[in-house]
Amino acid sequence: MQSRVYLLRVTDWKDVEAVARRTALFLREIDLFAGVGSGLLAGVKLTFGEEGNTGYPPPPLVREIVSALRERGARPFLTETNTLYSGRRKNSVDHLELAREHGFGAEQIGAPILLGDGLLGREEWSAPVSTGSRKRARLSPVVRDMDYLVGLGHVTGHLLTGFGGAIKNISMGLASRSGKLEMHSSVSPVVRGERCTLCGRCVAACAASAITLGPQSALIDTRLCTGCAECLAVCPDGAVGIDWNSGSERVQERMAEYAAAIVAALSGRAVFVNLLHQVTKHCDCLGAAPEVIAPEVGIAASSDPVALDQASIDLLRASAGGDPFRTAWPEVDPEVQLRHAEGLGLGVRAYRLRESA
Ligand code: SF4
Ligand code: SF4
């Protein structure tokens, strides 16, 4: 069995409005939103970019996606969740302000923004990974309530997963704060002693009484920690972080499971768009000028996130004349997430590519 993947080749992004116009025609030609019905609440999941990073989806292009959804009679909105780490996307107030600064105001885009995990990322909804599965995913409650999902992903490299596309965009981006922590690490966060000022806020916030103040820094008792991620949210100094050394394979597998839970919750009412544009070594969470690792390819779309990510990797390998992800992150196999997702029934890795003129 093969899934269909569509490609609009775009190698020149200097005139973003022209790219947006071509995108609008492309979306109509492939009829990507054929499954969205009149009146449905359609969430477009994207990242608004960290401060100092320009690797987020261009707002004019997002505007055209919103417009195409409206033409179908849907009620579109942009959705995202707050981040685990310090930065301007850690709470909804600063996050919305940054999104507006990056051009995602409702007036420009034609749709409001709904940050699905509440003011501090505490809101969550627990969903089974698949029917009958005991594994659960901690998700943004928006997943439970929306009717239709457009996963608009910006393809990048990533130090833990090697590659980030459709699967990473929805799994990390539609998880609650504790869900993100669960995917990133073996549940417990870590305290970076050199940043800790011993203010005690994390101790007060920890419902599991897992944190005490030591002589140099706060200390987390991993036997008591439930992985709720409250300490990450309340620490004013960014001293609580993620154990980035947890295995890449485990992170990728959990991402695939979260993505499967999301698509199952929507009964498959989801489509995916990957931007193969300004593909960088690090993900868009890095608040710095991005290091580009592959030539421009364009915009790919599919109703199958696994096929779409596989095609994205293959297209970027072909255009780079090598493997930009393995070159950037030699120790990470970025296709673990695809194999696991296929095993879960999220999609298939075999695809047929149809390129638009
Ligand atoms: S993650 Fe939650 S339970 Fe674990 S130490 Fe932090 S606040 Fe306590
Ligand atoms: S909230 Fe942060 S700075 Fe304060 S004690 Fe906890 S880890 Fe240290």
The pTM assigned to this predicted structure is 0.84
- Report the atom number in ligand 2 closest to the C-alpha of 195: 3
C-beta neighbour count of 113 within 10 angstroms: 20
Q: In what order do the strands lie in the sheet with 351-356?
A: 113-115, 75-80, 41-45, 148-154, 270-276, 298-302, 3-9, 351-356
* Cα separation, 205 vs 233, whole angstroms: 9
pLDDT at 263: 96
**Of 213, 222, 231, 243, best ligand 1 pocket probe by most atoms within 8 Å of the beta carbon:** 231
Q: What is the pLDDT of residues 106-128, one digit of tens each?
A: 999 999 999 999 998 889 999 98
CA of 224 to the centre of ligand 2 (A): 18
- Report the atom number in ligand 2 closest to the C-alpha of 201: 1
Structure tokens of 141? 């409650």
pLDDT at 234: 82
- Report the atom number in ligand 1 closest to the C-alpha of 240: 6
CA of 27 to the centre of ligand 2 (A): 48
| Res. 213 pLDDT band, cuts 50 70 90 | very high
CA atoms within 13 A on the CB side of 247: 6
Residues 167-179 have a mean pLDDT of 94
Looking up tokens 């199958």 gives 304
> Averaging pLDDT over each range in 6-10, 154-158, 202-206, 207-211, which range is the top one?
6-10
The full set of domains in the chain, from first to last, is 3-182+246-356 (3.40.50.11440), 188-241 (3.30.70.20)
- Report the atom number in ligand 1 closest to the C-alpha of 181: 1
Ligand number, closest to the Cα atom of 220:
1
CA atoms within 13 A on the CB side of 294: 32
Q: Determine whether the shortest distance from the Cβ of 200 to ligand 2 is under 6 A.
A: yes
Decide: 168 and 176 in contact? Cβ < 8 Å.
no
